[in-house]
A and B are shown apart, each in its own frame.
Chain A
Amino acid sequence: MFEILTNKLQTVFKQLRGYGRLTEANIQEALREIKLALLDADVNYKVVKLLLQRVQEKAVGQEVLASLSPGQQVVKIVHQELVELLGQSYRKPRLASHPPTIFMLVGLQGSGKTTTAGKLARHYMSEGYRPGLVAADPYRPAAAKQLEVLAQELGIPCYSPLEGESPKDTCLRAVREAELQNFLIIDTAGRLHINQELMEELQGLKKALSPHQIMLVVDAMMGQEAVRVAEGFHNQVGIDGVVLTKQEGDARGGAAISIRAAIGRPIQFIGVGERLDALEPFHPERIASRILGMGDILSLVEKTEAMATEEEARVEQKKLRSGKFTLEDFLAQLRQLKKMGSLEQMLELLPAGLLPGKGKLAQIKGASLDERRLPRMEAIICSMTSAERRNYKIINGSRRLRIARGSGTSVQEVNQLLKNFAGMNKMFKSWPKQARNMGGRFRPFSGIFG
């Protein structure tokens, strides 16, 4: 796995210290480790070979820098190569100059097209568009119904196939009927790239609608076959961009690299959760870092940035460092957390090295993360007096009982929260400076994990 790749390379290179230069001979073992790690991440075999070749070319002859260990140095080269393979940074998909803009989603069964359609609609709503969803899947039972439910949730129209209507007719009807909508997202049926009949159906849809974007929706957990699937769709229908779904699990998403290498089309969005807001623009830098276990710190900073003003962050950071972080601050953060999205999603972004010691991270990751606990924790803190919030140490047994009653929770839960809070305070004091200073806005959300 990638988390340990850097460590492994470190070990491999330990014996190279003092050699001065990386040579073909002495990086062989490192290349083997990289190969195993990339293959384990489902990067296509041919792509791995190509990548290794390039890494070797670049690495051989390089001086072992004083500041970097040879291991880090090679990882850096691999990182650069991955970024290059993944392509340029996020480019907005092309939209119509004369509305409506039409997006067509295609992909295998179960890749997440319908959910992605809902997410894209939400994304463009937030940019001021008025999208509508089109269900062009008459095959899977209740597929249209699923899209209708999503549309209802978003408060936008959904065009479903009428009895006996072909996907093409449904789409054409949607274009005709959509007067207020300036953005149509077409959810097509899942199909195999080798199913001739259904691929022809897509070609027909393309011809009839001339969509501005044909997006291939791909499961991030896909294996070696990703290349052929992408090629199949691209050669027969023409793909403009790729959406990578289910990226929030422990999938390394090697498929992203393979697909990009195979069809040369940009990956535009990644799906990172089940909620409709869990769609992010794709950033090659960040994914490359993530693939190499370096964490996606940029995304994290960006997320927290959106949540707090500069001033708030500065004050809080000061409090953090001085250890004067009170339950009141904690409450404020709990409330922010609700805005930020899933906890696990946030945790995923954390680089392994940021928390003190690998064990700690594993400990936090292993802890049960239950977002449903947030409102209860909020209630508990709200039931405290301001004196208690400022100094949790005065909360004795009878106060705990009162707080539990007031918040409708149990004394055990109050105890748990106080324990977590105390532990969190302690942890922050032991954080490395660089983490505490990071952008001046790092939020200590991890403290609420039980």
Chain B
Amino acid sequence: MFGSANRASKTDLTESVDRKRKTLGSKTLGRLRRGLSKSRERFVGGLERIFSRKEAGRDIWEELEELLISADLGAKITERLLEKLRRQLSSRELQSPDRVMSALREELLDVLGPSSKGLCVDGSPAVFLMLGVNGTGKTTTIGKLAWKFRQEGRRVLLAAADTFRAAASEQLEVWGRRVGADIIKHQPGADPSAVVYDAVSAAVARGADILLVDTAGRLHTKSNLIEELKKIKRVLGKVKPGLPQETLLVLDAYTGQNAIYQAREFHQQLELSGLVITKLDATAKAGALIGIVEEMGLPIKLIGVGEGIEDLQEFNPSAFVKALLEKENG
């Protein structure tokens, strides 16, 4: 998706952006790795510790269980995964850390495998609706995403549909200035659907390629607030059938099992097209993803792996699992 499309005129901004882009590609995997290295060290270190101790079989399973649960995979999934490994592998294979590791990796990949899917940017404009509970990083993700699209030379418009939180639109405005994207906003407390309506009209009139809609953080249990989001989505569909192209739930990598409830509720109410995982930059492992993808089959479209503006990447299942389970140079 972040191909070499370069349609914008060579303004100062796009030039500097282009320069940065050249260095980005090679850095991408390294950055993900660096970001994940902390958790990987612990994970791999943990496994090695387990196996080097050569304890009785039962203890190995207990420690494997601890590792998976500590990665927020959840008790049920962990139990099922380990059960499966125990069934599949022969007793000799079970003695080999490498074999157990690769089997585990295969299992995780099996779940995540079908979950890579690029963003849909077709349409004029393509509208992305960003949703999530409070504090997961919706606005920051939009800022990074806008930057990414600007790099590709697309015209980006931002809609400040979070009219609730204090200074939410100011936060988005700063991002807009930073990346060179216009922003459509109303007064605090305004109807977010009205903002979105205006934003789509403006996007069409100005010939924007991408419209990113920032919504207020909503706990998934607040049905009246969820209704408000549904209305935004309805309004989009009415302005132009087929909008929004993407309805993305932004999840915080530090969230535990509650992430599953969030995804379930948002998906049920708002029919998600994919997930964005933020703060996957250091120690959080976001193992709850496994359960979400397995249950809902939602693709993970983007991951936030750092605080920098360029720290937003496409999700690559094998890189994700690999980075989690393998050694630095493996």
Which A residues have a C-beta under 8 Å from some C-beta of B? 35-36, 39-42, 45-46, 108-112, 114, 140-143, 145-150, 153, 192-195, 219, 221-226, 228-229, 246, 248-252, 254-255, 274, 344, 368-372
Contacts and interface: CB of A to CB of B under 8 A. Distances in A.
B165 interface: yes
B254 A225 contact: yes
A255 B258 CA distance: 11
Interface stretch (B12-20, B24-32, B72-80): B72-80
B124 interface: no
A161 to B, nearest CB: 14
Contact of A251 (B135, B173, B258): B258
B133 A249 contact: yes
24 contacts: A36-B76, A40-B74, A40-B76, A41-B257, A110-B137, A111-B135, A141-B173, A142-B167, A143-B171, A145-B167, A149-B188, A192-B282, A194-B38, A195-B282, A221-B259, A222-B254, A223-B254, A223-B287, A225-B254, A225-B283, A249-B221, A250-B221, A368-B224, A368-B227
Contacts of B170: 141-142, 145-146
Nearest to B137: A110
A35 to B, nearest CB: 7
Closest 5 CB pairs of A and B: A223-B256, A110-B135, A141-B174, A149-B166, A42-B256
A350 B178 CA distance: 47
Contacts of A251: 258
A110 B167 contact: no
A140 B255 contact: no
Given A194-B282, A223-B72, A246-B135, A369 B224 contact: yes
B71 interface: yes
Interface in B205-248: 219-224, 227
Contact of A192 (B75, B221, B222, B281): B281
Contact of A40 (B75, B133, B143, B175): B75
A193 B173 CA distance: 28
B83 interface: no
Interface string B137-162: 10000010000000000000000000
B285 interface: yes
A225 B221 contact: no
Given A39-B69, A110-B137, A111-B135, A221 B258 contact: yes
B294 interface: no
A221 B217 CA distance: 14
A142 B171 contact: yes
Contacts of A111: 135
A370 B223 CA distance: 8
A249 B258 contact: yes
Given A221-B258, A251-B258, 6 more contacts: A110-B279, A142-B171, A149-B167, A219-B254, A221-B256, A226-B254
A146 B134 contact: no
B308 to A, nearest CB: 12
Contact of B285 (A114, A225, A370): A225
Given A251-B258, A368-B224, A219 B219 contact: no
A224 B69 contact: yes
B51 interface: no
Nearest to A139: B307
B288 interface: yes
A225 B284 contact: yes
B2 interface: no
A252 B261 CA distance: 11
A242 to B, nearest CB: 15
Interface string B57-93: 0000000001001111011100000000000000000
Contacts of B287: 223
Contact of A146 (B76, B167, B282): B167
B182 interface: no
Contacts of A249: 133, 219-222, 258
Interface string B119-139: 000000000000001111100
B311 interface: no
Contact of A142 (B174, B252, B258): B174
B166 A35 contact: no
A277 B220 CA distance: 21
B75 A36 contact: yes
B72 A224 contact: yes
A109 B135 CA distance: 7
Among B168, B173, B222, B288, chain A packs the most CB atoms within 10 A around the CB of B222
B164 interface: yes
A3 to B, nearest CB: 13
Contacts of B220: 249-250
A414 B223 CA distance: 23
B258 A42 contact: yes
B257 A42 contact: yes
B284 to A, nearest CB: 5
A362 to B, nearest CB: 13
B81 to A, nearest CB: 14
A343 to B, nearest CB: 9
Contacts of A153: 166
B171 A109 contact: no
Contacts of B281: 192
A35 B287 CA distance: 18
A369 B223 CA distance: 7
Contacts of A192: 281-283
Given A142-B170, A249-B220, A250-B221, A221 B133 contact: yes
A110 B137 CA distance: 7
A109 B137 contact: yes
Contacts of A254: 256
A110 B136 contact: yes
B250 to A, nearest CB: 10
A225 B38 CA distance: 12
A192 B254 CA distance: 11
A146 B224 contact: no
Nearest to A195: B282
B25 to A, nearest CB: 26
Contacts of A221: 133, 252, 255-256, 258-259, 262
A340 to B, nearest CB: 17
A150 B143 CA distance: 24
Contacts of A219: 135, 252, 254-255
Among A110, A226, A248, chain B packs the most CB atoms within 10 A around the CB of A110
